[in-house]
Amino acid sequence: MAALLGAAGLSGLRSAREAEAAGRVRPATRRDSTRTTMDGVYTLAQATKGKDLFAMRCQSCHTPTQHSGPPFRNKWFGKSLGDLYTYIRREMPKNEPRSLSDQEYTLALAFLLRMNGMPTGPVPLAADSAALQSIRLDSVPAVP
């Protein structure tokens, strides 16, 4: 009986690995490993507030198209969200770098993700550069 159960368990394991390799399921360790921006790492409320912030503090120097589509994809694809967050905090706004709160920088970041077609999720994006380091900017869809 133990041999039969062991064989069935191995067969199930092989099937799961085959399905995973074919892209039909996510790896079981996915939740324990690096997340990506395609996992819904910010909320719609954050992106909405970020849009207002962008209009007030960023749009005088930047258009939304400068931070979406190919220009954004070419510069940030594959890098960590922490890298982008750190860059924004260090460099923006251009006339007053580091003048926003960490929370405001997070809202701006959520708006950038929304502009680039990243899905929203139920949990707000944290204003924590260490936590953001474990999230990779991934699968930025092409703008039609």
Task: Please classify residue 11 by burial: count the beta carbons closer than 10 Å to its beta carbon, then call 0-12 exposed, 13-18 middle and 19+ buried.
Answer: exposed
- For 142, the enclosing helix (H) or strand (E) is none
Amino acid at 61: C
Q: Please, are residues 43 and 137 in contact by the beta-carbon 8 Å criterion?
A: no
- When comparing pLDDT for 24 and 35, which is higher? 35
Taking the model in full, what pTM does it have? 0.72
Task: Give pLDDT tens digits for 60-73.
Answer: 788 777 788 888 88
- Residue 39 and residue 121 in contact, taking contact as beta carbons nearer than 8 Å: yes
Confidence of residue 131 (pLDDT cuts 50, 70, 90): very high
How far is it, in rounded angstroms, from Cα 3 to Cα 95?
71
The radius of gyration of the chain from alpha carbons, rounded to an integer in Å, stands at 19
Q: Which two tokens stand for residue 135?
A: 């999230």
Average confidence score pLDDT of the chain = 79
